[in-house]
Amino acid sequence: MNVPIRVIGIATTFFWVFLIAIFATAAYSVRDLSLNFGEPEVSFTDSSLLFALPIQITNRGYYDIGNFNVTTQIFDPEGYTLATGRTFERVVPKGGLTTVYHNVSLGLADLFAASTYLFNDSQFNVKAWVGLRLAEAIPVQAQTNFSFPWGAPFYNFALGTPTIAVIDPVANPFRVWASVPMSFENHALFDLVGNVSVKMINSGGSIVGESLTVFSVPQNSPYSGILQFEVNAGQVTPSGQFEVHFATEYFSHGPVVIPYG
């Protein structure tokens, strides 16, 4: 059966009108689409810090959103990539609010391989790319940059000068306590539980004594305490160094060498 050319022309015209209408309403729907990045929720998995970034998608347009995808990269101040995360949501329905959680995992062992982020506050930079399709036809892409502060778990860590006190002057005048003040502030995103082990080394390179202190420091709280070393007075020198090892439920680090005297 042959279809008259005039009928084909009318059908084609209606097809193009319909297609143009879809594109027009889809483009108009962009005006009714908004994305809002919420505050990251922080948790732990194994030895990683997990950022769950809530993204609120308000879609009041005429069509569902398809292939919604987010990619983020976290950079240190020098531009080195610390972590990358990707999230894909096949369909975001029209007519309401949908919350998608975008996860990025930051390995603490790699982060603390150097002492910088253990003792110093910093600021990390984030690049986020968002892609989606409106009406299964129109691709939309957007990019944004933002930053967030990094708080050091052992901010301003310090060991003071040893002070000497004889334990038993009568029985053994050479057996003494070396007392060393220790202080820091926990600026991290998490409570800090663990221990610090310290070796006291004299100027000749010999280990004079060792000390272990257990701590539990809430987020945004200071810590101060005293390390006690039982030492032989004849081995103590006016100057030397401490060799410090840190161990927490999430990471370990050391040795860190701190001179004294």
pLDDT tens sequence across 134-191: 666 677 777 778 787 889 999 999 999 898 887 666 666 667 888 999 999 999 988 9
Say if residue 131 is in the same domain as residue 163: no
Which among 5, 135, 125, 129 has a CA at the least distance from the CA of 61?
A: 135
Count the domains in the chain: 2
Which among 82, 47, 42, 48 has a CA at the least distance from the CA of 190?
A: 42
Say if residue 129 is in the same domain as residue 202: no
Which of 85, 119, 150 lies at the terminal end of a domain, its last residue? 150
Say if residue 64 is in the same domain as residue 118: yes
Say if residue 123 is in the same domain as residue 68: yes
Say if residue 89 is in the same domain as residue 112: yes
Say if residue 65 is in the same domain as residue 144: yes
CATH code of 74's domain: 2.60.40.10
| Beta bridge partners of residue 141, listed in sequence order | 131
CA gap 129, 137 in Å, rounded: 19
Q: Enter the pTM of the model.
A: 0.74
pLDDT tens, the chain, 261 aa long: 444 444 434 444 443 443 444 344 444 455 667 777 777 777 777 778 888 888 888 877 777 777 888 888 988 888 888 889 998 888 888 777 888 888 888 888 878 877 889 999 999 888 888 887 766 667 777 777 878 788 999 999 999 989 888 766 666 666 788 899 999 999 998 899 999 999 999 999 999 999 999 999 999 999 999 999 988 878 888 899 999 999 988 888 989 999 998
Q: Taking a C-beta distance cutoff of 8 angstroms, is the pair 194, 248 a contact?
A: yes
Q: What is the pLDDT of residues 72-86, one digit of tens each?
A: 898 888 888 888 999
CA gap 63, 191 in Å, rounded: 45
Outline where DSSP puts E strands in 155-251.
155-159, 163-168, 172-186, 192-202, 207-217, 221-232, 240-248
Say if residue 104 is in the same domain as residue 20: yes
Which of 118, 150, 182 lies at the terminal end of a domain, its last residue? 150
Give me the domain span that covers residue 111: 5-150
SS3 118: helix
